C-alpha cells in the first residue's frame, strides 16, 4: 500500500467546473472568470453564477434577486430557536442549530432532485444573513430587525445587524466581501460538504457539515482570531514585537500561510485595499496600520529565517475590514459563511449530478499503548445541559 499523504496535500480528489486556483501565479477564477472581474457585480449575480453555472442575464438576475428577497425572512419559529441559544457561543454555533431546525420544517428535506435543491438553495442563501444578524441582536437583548427588500444582500445584512442603513461604501464593501468569500475550489469545508452529499444525504446536512468545518481556526475561524489579534496589539508600532513573541513561543500567526498559494493570495490585495478605504473613510488608520506592520514583520522574519516568505491569506485583511464595519468578532466566521454558502451549494449540486460515494483508504499502523489507569473523564470537567 502507498504511503499516506498527510493532509491530502496536492492530492487531486475530484474534477470540478466551479472554480480554479493557480497557486504559483496567484490566480482565482469562478467558472472560468477571474474573481477580480466579478467584483463590480451584485453578490446575487455571483451566487447565480456559482449555483447555476453561468452569469445571469438582466431578467434572470432580477428574478433571482426577487426570489432571494422574498425568502429573506427567517420566520418566527427560527427566531424562537435562536432565542433559546446560549448567548456566549459563536454565531457559527447558532447558525448550525438554526439550519438544522430549518431542515425539519422542509417537506422536501430528503428530495435530492435538482429542482428541490435549487429551491432549498435560494432559501439558504437568502436566510443566512437574517439568522446571523438576528442571533447577534437577540444575544445582546435587542429585537431582530426584519429584512429590507429595497437593499442589496450586503447592505441588508448590515442594516439587520445595526438597525440602521450602512453608508454606500460600507454596503459596497460588504457585497465584495461576500463575493471574495464565496468559493475556493476544494477547501476543507467544501470538500467536507461534498463528502456528506456523496452519501446521498440531504443538502441541509451537507451544508451543516460545511458550517462545522469552516468554523475551525485553521480554516474560516482564522478570521475571528485575526480580529482578536488586532485588538491585542495596543499600537501599530508593537506589531513586530508581537510577531517575534508568537514565533518564539512556536505559535502560528492567524491569517497567514496557505496550502495552495506559493505567492500572494489574489484576494488579499483586494481586501487590503478595501480595509484602507474604510480606514480612511473613518479617519482611523490604527487597525489598518497594525495589519500592515504585522504583514511586513512576518515577511521579514520568515524570509530571514527560512528563506521562504509566508503571505497573508484571505482571512487577514478581511478580519480588519470586519473591524471597520463594526462586525463583532464572534460573528466573523458566520459572516464568511454568508458568502461561502453559494460555493458549498454549487459543490453539493455538482456532486449530486455525477455522484460516486467519496471513500478513500487508510493505511493501518499499530497504535502506541495508552497510559495505564487513565480516567475516562476528567473529574474537573462538567457538562451542563
Ligand atoms: N504562522 C506561523 N508559521 C506558519 C503559519 C502561520 N500562520 N502558517 C504556516 N506556518 C509554517 C508552519 O509552522 C510550518 O513550518 P515548518 O515547516 O517549520 O513546520 C510551515 O509554515 C508549513 O505550515 P503547515 O501548517 O504545515 O501548512 P499547511 O499547508 O498544512 O497549512 C494553513 C496551511 C492551515 C493555512 C497554515 O498556514 C495555518 O495554520 N495558518 C494559520 C491559520 C489560518 O490563517 N488559516 C486560514 C487559512 S485560509 C482559509 O482557510 C479560509
Place of cell 495505564: 372
Length in residues, the chain: 385
Name the residue ranges covered by the structural domains of the chain. Answer: 13-218+330-353, 223-323
Closest-CA residue, ligand 1 atom 46, reads 219
CA distance 277 to 271: 10
Are 59 and 354 in contact by the 8 Å Cβ rule? The answer is: no
Tell me how crowded residue 235 is: count the other CB atoms within 10 A of its CB: 10
**Given this model, what pLDDT does residue 368 score?**
85
Ligand 1 pocket list (CB less than 6 A):
7, 187, 218-220, 222, 252-259, 310, 313-315
CA distance 315 to 266: 12
| Cα 336 from chain centre | 3
> Active-site residue among 258, 265, 307, 326?
258
Residues pairing with 256 in the sheet: 312
**Given this model, what pLDDT does residue 297 score?**
95
Distance 23 CA to ligand 1 centre (A): 15
Closest-CA residue, ligand 1 atom 18, reads 306
Choose among 127, 130, 136: nearest CA to 87: 136
Alpha-carbon radius of gyration of the chain: 21
3-state secondary structure the chain: CCCCCHHHCCCCCCCCCCEEEECCCCEEEECCEEHHHHCCCCHHHHHHHHHHCCCCCHHHHHHHHHHHHHHCCCCHHHHHHHHCCCCCCCHHHHHHHHHHHHHHCCCCCCCCCHHHHHHHHHHHHHHHHHHHHHHHHHHCCCCCCCCCCCCCHHHHHHHHHHCCCCCHHHHHHHHHHHHHCCCCCCCHHHHHHHHHHHCCCCHHHHHHHHHHHHCCCCCCCHHHHHHHHHHHCCCHHHHHHHHHHHHHCCCCCCCECCCCCCCCCHHHHHHHHHHHHHHHHHCCCHHHHHHHHHHHHHHHHHHHHHCCCCCECHHHHHHHHHHHCCCCHHHHHHHHHHHHHHHHHHHHHHHHHCCCCCCCCCCCCCCCCCCCCCCCCCCCCCCCC
> Active-site residue among 315, 326, 347, 354?
315
Are 351 and 314 in contact by the 8 Å Cβ rule? The answer is: no
* pTM as predicted: 0.96
Closest-CA residue, ligand 1 atom 17, reads 306
- The CATH code of domain 223-323 reads 1.10.230.10
> What are the residues whose beta carbons fall under 8 Å from the beta carbon of 117, sequence distance 6 or more?
111, 203, 345, 348, 349, 352
Which option is the CATH number for 13-218+330-353: 3.30.70.20, 2.60.40.1260, 3.40.190.10, 1.10.580.10? 1.10.580.10
CA distance 296 to 240: 8
**Given this model, what pLDDT does residue 190 score?**
98
**Given this model, what pLDDT does residue 352 score?**
98
258 is a catalytic site residue: yes
Distance 247 CA to ligand 1 centre (A): 12
pLDDT in tens, 141-164: 999 999 999 999 999 999 999 999
Q: Which of 242, 250, 256, 257 to mutate to test the pocket of ligand 1 (most atoms within 8 A of CB)?
A: 257
326 is a catalytic site residue: no
**Given this model, what pLDDT does residue 262 score?**
94
Q: Mean pLDDT of residues grouped by 10 in the chain (385 residues)?
A: 93 98 98 98 98 98 98 97 96 98 96 98 98 98 98 98 98 98 98 98 98 98 97 96 94 96 96 98 98 96 85 97 98 98 98 98 89 66 64
162-194 as b/e: b if 16+ CB within 10 A: beeebeeebbbbbbbbbbbbbbbbbbbbbbbbb
Amino acid at each position: 500500500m502507498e504511503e499516506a499523504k498527510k493532509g491530502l496535500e496536492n492530492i487531486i480528489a475530484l474534477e470540478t467546473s466551479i472554480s480554479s486556483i493557480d497557486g504559483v501565479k496567484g490566480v482565482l477564477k469562478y467558472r472560468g472568470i477571474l474573481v477580480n472581474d466579478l467584483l463590480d457585480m451584485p453578490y446575487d449575480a455571483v451566487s447565480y453564477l456559482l449555483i447555476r453555472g453561468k452569469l445571469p442575464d438582466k431578467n434572470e438576475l432580477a428574478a433571482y434577486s426577487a426570489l432571494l428577497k422574498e425568502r429573506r425572512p427567517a420566520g418566527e419559529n427560527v427566531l424562537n430557536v435562536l432565542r433559546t441559544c446560549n448567548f456566549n457561543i459563536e454565531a457559527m454555533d447558532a447558525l448550525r442549530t438554526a439550519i438544522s431546525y430549518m431542515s425539519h420544517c422542509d417537506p422536501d428535506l430528503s428530495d435530492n432532485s435538482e429542482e428541490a435543491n435549487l429551491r432549498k438553495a435560494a432559501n439558504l442563501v437568502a436566510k443566512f444573513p437574517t439568522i446571523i444578524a438576528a442571533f447577534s441582536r437577540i444575544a445582546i437583548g435587542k429585537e431582530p430587525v426584519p429584512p429590507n427588500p429595497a437593499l442589496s444582500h450586503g447592505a441588508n445584512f448590515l442594516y439587520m445587524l445595526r438597525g440602521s442603513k450602512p453608508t454606500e461604501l460600507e454596503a459596497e464593501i460588504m457585497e465584495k466581501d461576500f463575493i471574495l468569500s464565496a468559493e475556493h475550489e476544494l477547501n476543507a469545508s467544501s470538500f467536507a460538504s461534498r463528502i456528506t452529499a456523496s452519501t446521498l444525504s440531504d443538502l441541509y446536512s451537507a451544508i451543516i457539515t460545511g458550517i462545522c468545518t469552516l468554523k475551525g481556526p485553521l480554516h474560516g475561524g482564522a478570521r475571528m482570531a485575526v480580529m482578536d489579534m488586532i485588538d491585542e496589539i495596543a499600537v501599530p508600532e508593537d506589531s513586530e514585537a508581537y510577531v517575534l513573541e508568537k514565533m518564539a513561543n512556536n505559535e502560528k500567526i492567524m491569517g497567514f500561510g496557505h496550502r495552495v498559494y506559493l505567492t500572494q493570495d489574489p484576494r488579499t490585495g483586494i481586501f487590503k485595499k478595501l480595509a484602507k478605504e474604510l480606514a480612511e473613510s473613518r479617519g482611523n488608520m490604527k487597525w489598518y496600520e497594525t495589519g500592515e506592520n504585522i504583514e511586513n514583520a512576518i515577511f521579514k522574519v520568515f524570509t530571514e529565517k527560512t528563506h521562504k516568505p509566508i503571505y497573508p491569506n484571505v482571512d487577514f485583511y478581511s478580519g480588519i475590514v470586519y473591524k471597520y464595519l463594526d462586525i463583532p468578532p464572534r460573528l466573523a466566521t458566520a459572516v464568511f459563511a454568508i458568502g461561502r454558502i453559494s460555493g458549498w451549494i454549487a459543490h453539493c449540486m455538482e456532486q449530486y449530478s455525477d455522484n460516486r460515494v467519496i471513500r478513500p483508504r487508510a493505511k493501518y499502523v499499530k497504535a502506541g499503548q495508552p497510559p495505564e489507569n487513565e480516567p475516562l473523564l476528567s473529574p474537573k470537567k462538567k457538562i451542563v445541559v
